[in-house]
Amino acid sequence: MSALFDRLSEDARARLRRRAQPRWIDPALATLVHEPFSAADWLFEPKLDGERCLIFKRGGEVRILSRNRKDLGDTYPELVRAVAEQPGEDLVLDGEIVAFRGGVSSFARLQQRMQAGPGAASGPRVPVRCYVFDVLHAAGHDVTPLPLRERKKLLPGALDLRDPLRRTPYVNSRGEDYHARACRSGWEGVLAKDATSAYARGRSRTWLKFKCVNNQEVVIGGFTEPTGSRPALGALLIGYYEDRRLVYGGKVGTGFDDATLRDLRRRLDELERSRSPFAGDVDERRAHWVAPRLVAEVAFTEWTDDGKLRHPSYHGLRRDKDPAEVVREIPA
């Protein structure tokens, strides 16, 4: 057995099973909760505002995939090179790709890099880092059945953590203090993870999140024409899925610069259709309807009683999210 596993407890080593590296693992997802908490058997990590990724390294082959299986290698070639240089020959890692503005992770800044497409390193020079927080497979073994605290022990031996690869910091037990620190520092929020749990594919309550700001993923179902000197488009008409129906959630008309407005109009013109994709009537004059294929992230102040977003502001497109998965996020 690999020396990598010497860090594990005897019980954890007994749980290891030899497995061929999978081509894909459904990533664990966190459930939103309202109140932060502290607990002895939980870990607390910063909630980074970036692009989730799974990293697969098998010999000389490196694949970096988004949570909906899109290949991110062309966008982040420096991450591919950094992983390829690692000594481990058989790894699957879970992490978040981020860009920073003023010392805080910024999805809006990362968006500049994401929009550049293939060959992004020669486009807008936005430095990125990949914060790795979990090991799912190592040295011919599936480690997802191990408790999170044991999987964390594998990270120092699995990776030589130098830029652009970093290990996600965390604290034990003190969730309320960590949340207060996060909010003072301008972070998006905190992830709370059950340190005794196996890796739970999909959404579960072994990973929870509590936010400092309100963010929501939305599906773009239409747009309006601009007025005055504004170029390209006026506002995005947005929604979320409820019982497989796209529910209208209001419109967002702030958070854009002129280049973003023109880029969005180009994308949306290619998706235009004659009928509204929203369930029920949308009373919006001069509306253009589009196929609901684009997901955006917006910040907002609160939900209204009729299910609309109050004062939403555009942050960017989320290419790593399937529109059908976008639902209204309300704390459990």
> Which residues does 150 contact at the CB level (< 8 Å), separation at least 6?
8, 9, 12, 143
In a domain, 6, yes or no: no
Q: Name the residue with higher pLDDT: 79 or 228.
A: 79
Residues known to be catalytic: 47
In a domain, 12, yes or no: no
What is the distance of C-alpha 10 from the center of its chain?
34
Closest CA relative to residue 137, chosen from 146, 126, 128: 146
Number of domains in the chain: 3
- State how beta strands 104-105 and 51-58 pair: unpaired
Question: Which tens digits make up the pLDDT trace of 7-40?
Answer: 999 999 999 999 999 999 999 999 999 889 999 9
Rounded to whole angstroms, the Cα distance separating 323 from 290 reads 13
- pLDDT range class, residue 114, cuts 50, 70, 90: confident
Specify the pLDDT at position 1. Answer: 65
Question: Which tens digits make up the pLDDT trace of 120-173?
Answer: 444 457 999 999 999 999 999 999 999 999 999 999 999 888 899 999 999 999
Q: What is the CATH number of the domain that holds 31?
A: 3.30.1490.70
Mean confidence (pLDDT) of the chain:
92
Q: Name the residue with higher pLDDT: 285 or 54.
A: 54
In a domain, 10, yes or no: no
- Same-domain status, 72 and 140: yes
In a domain, 124, yes or no: yes
- Same-domain status, 155 and 87: yes
Q: Which domain holds residue 286?
A: 215-325
Q: Is a pLDDT exceeding 70 seen at residue 240?
A: yes
- Same-domain status, 40 and 176: yes
What is the distance of C-alpha 117 from the center of its chain?
18
- Same-domain status, 103 and 199: no
Specify the pLDDT at position 123. Answer: 47
Residue holding tokens 């963010």? 215
- Same-domain status, 206 and 222: no
Question: Quick one: average pLDDT of 76-103?
Answer: 94
Specify the pLDDT at position 121. Answer: 46
- pLDDT range class, residue 314, cuts 50, 70, 90: very high
- Same-domain status, 230 and 286: yes
In a domain, 22, yes or no: no
Closest CA relative to residue 277, chosen from 312, 229, 230, 323: 323
Q: What is the percent of the chain where pLDDT is above 90?
A: 77
Q: What is the CATH number of the domain that holds 105?
A: 3.30.470.30
Closest CA relative to residue 326, chosen from 251, 188, 221, 219: 219
- pLDDT range class, residue 204, cuts 50, 70, 90: very high
Question: Quick one: average pLDDT of 281-285?
Answer: 87
- Same-domain status, 232 and 265: yes
Question: Quick one: average pLDDT of 202-223?
Answer: 93
- pLDDT range class, residue 117, cuts 50, 70, 90: low
